[in-house]
Amino acid sequence: MRLINRHPGGAVALLLGLAPFLVLILIYGAASQQRLAENPNDKLLPGLEQMTSAVNRMAFQEDRRSGDYLMWQDTKASLQRLGIGMGIAASLALVVGLLNGILPLARAGLAPLVSTLSMIPPLAILPILFIVFGLGELSKVMLIVIGTAPIMMRDVAQRVRELPQEQLIKIQTLGANTWQVITRMALPQVLPRLIDAVRLSLGPAWLFLIAAEAIASEEGLGYRIFLVRRYLAMDVIIPYVIWITLLAIVIDQLLRLTNRRLFPWYNAGGH
């Protein structure tokens, strides 16, 4: 049997998926053990005991200055910024994407602007955002919005244009006006695609958030990473990076589950 036709079973697929992670862990463990054997005070590749101690200190012990549990305080601040930014971006993407996809006049006026905005590197305009919106929460949220909304707008508009022309003809034949075409035909079929677009935008959104927090913030996961890097505190940085990754995976899977539960027909179609 050709390899292209061989599909792993559940257990084999699980093992194949875990294998790369196990290899990376083993390589890191061996390298860390070697460096610590040569220099017990080495900070570049901390051992499991050092990272566990750092997590315990950051997550389960009150900070002497603020009295807060820093890891949870940072997590709350970052998730709040991410949630607000992605919520605004998704809302804008839904409205503008529907208009661009359904209305030719709107597409003629808005599509060139959306395409242009999607080509601007968001991090390049970060200084402008800080000047215009200040160093507070708004500039960080706006960076997420500007960095993710235009791409999602284009994706939603493309999905609307992919809808069968027969549906548009039939619903108009039945007497539907423009509002009814948007709300009854286009909107229900676009919502699952929007959730997929949000999932795909989570990676860039985290990047923009961490970059903004690193430059101007007093709390947040990105802020903490860049604060402790001056002390070469890899025992804090590595657990924070792993924690951010786990948060991203959980959010992605929750969105995936939501999509499957709310729109089973969409996933049954192979999306």
Mean pLDDT of the chain: 91
Could you report the per-residue pLDDT of 230-252, keeping only the tens digit for each? 888 899 999 999 999 999 999 99
Element (H, E) at 208: helix 187-215
As a whole number, mean pLDDT of residues 256-260 equals: 93
Query: What pTM did the predictor assign?
Result: 0.88
Looking at the predicted structure, is the pLDDT value of residue 257 above 90? yes
Instruction: Evaluate whether the domain defined by 70-267 bears CATH number 1.10.3720.10.
Output: yes
Which pLDDT value is given to residue 259? 93
* Sign (positive or negative) of CA dihedral 66, 75, 203, 225: positive
Q: Tell me: the pLDDT tens digits for 195-235?
A: 999 999 999 999 999 999 988 888 999 999 999 988 888 99
Q: Tens digit of pLDDT for each residue in 39-59?
A: 888 888 898 999 999 999 999
What contacts 24+ positions apart, CB below 8 Å, involve 38-45? 43/232, 43/233, 43/234, 43/235, 44/232, 44/234, 45/234
The residue extents of the domains of the chain are: 10-39, 70-267
pLDDT of 256 > 70? The answer is yes
pLDDT tens sequence across 97-133: 999 999 999 999 999 999 999 999 998 998 999 899 8
Output the pLDDT for position 271: 60
57 touches 114 (CB < 8 A): no
Average pLDDT of span 87-97: 96
Confidence of residue 141 (pLDDT cuts 50, 70, 90): very high
Task: Output the furthest CA–CA distance in the chain (Å, rounded).
Answer: 80
